[in-house]
Structure 1
Amino acid sequence: MILFPNAKINLGLDILRKRPDGYHDIETVMVPVPWCDVLEIVPAKGSETTLTVSGRKVECPMEKNLVMKAYRALEAEVSLPPVDIYLRKIIPDGAGLGGGSSDASFTLLALNELFSLGYNREELARIASTLGADCPFFIYNTPMLCTGTGTDMEPVELDLKGHSILIVKPQVSVPTAAAYSHT
């Protein structure tokens, strides 16, 4: 199965307050954009699940990659056979585009379909929320007003026809933790 996990942009981002749990309450509108990674999941050649990443360099061990975390999170709920996962990274990191979150959520969607698990979107969003605040958005992948830590979502009517979105990614990256530390 081959999927194309897409990026997202935030139309406005209001960081309201730091929460006692260390996270922040926010208010933003997240919108999917057609800048995509490539994700392929196939039955494993061996007896273990593997992840092969190509394209943009990803600086983390396999088990810390959100794609593997998504596999493990679903595996904790239901028995899964081993798979080989191939991820071609195109979406840049450190830009707030949600590439890793999208990859993780699309992994959940793919596994659900590939193995006919029968999870609905709400159930997949619940699992995705354990992986990261942006992850549930990509389960629905439609414009959403996001509040709380970003996981409380409400669909918004948004028509961007006649408008263009230009995304420019400079060489500098801003880690999410650093961006939020100034509130």
Structure 2
Amino acid sequence: MTASERMRAVGVVQEGDPILLKRARPFTLPDEAEDARRVVAELVSACERASSVHVFGKGMGMAAPQIGIDRAAAIVRSPDGEMVTLFNPRIVEESSDTDEQYEGCLSFFDVRGMVPRPLAISVEHTDVDGQQRITIFERGMARLVAHEVDHLHGLLYRLRMREGVEPIPVSEYRGTGSSWQYGASGE
């Protein structure tokens, strides 16, 4: 069974499904708090299933469209297990400092792609109680969060790759189970 087939088997929508290419519907919070909590519970369950078939050394994330739900919710789990929940997120500021590292996507998990991302992002999002917040994410968490925010806007990481750069087969990727790599200066 391929990596993508394993993800499909645990309920992750795969590339080719139109839901992955459309902007997810935002929540009206706190009015839709019950729906938002239900979606998050389904995302957590899906992440647990995905984690049962793959080791995520760099952390992981999942957006509602990846489990067939057209709503603007995503969760991100850091390598140390911290869980971040995002409703209606959008990136409002990016650092000019960037780096380029391999990313994988549960919706086409047979390849890894070298993706440039900012080293820090500010994300505006809504809490389940309707409070607007801005949270700053750095390094690996910035990469994970940006990947999931892209999903909620109908973008897959291939669109972020430099022109002429192609994903590599997962069989050639050597970073599975390891942490993101950053130098002393953050690069």
Q: Same fold (TM over 0.5)?
A: no
The higher radius of gyration belongs to: 1
TM-score by length of 1: 0.31
Query: Larger % of helix: which?
Result: 2
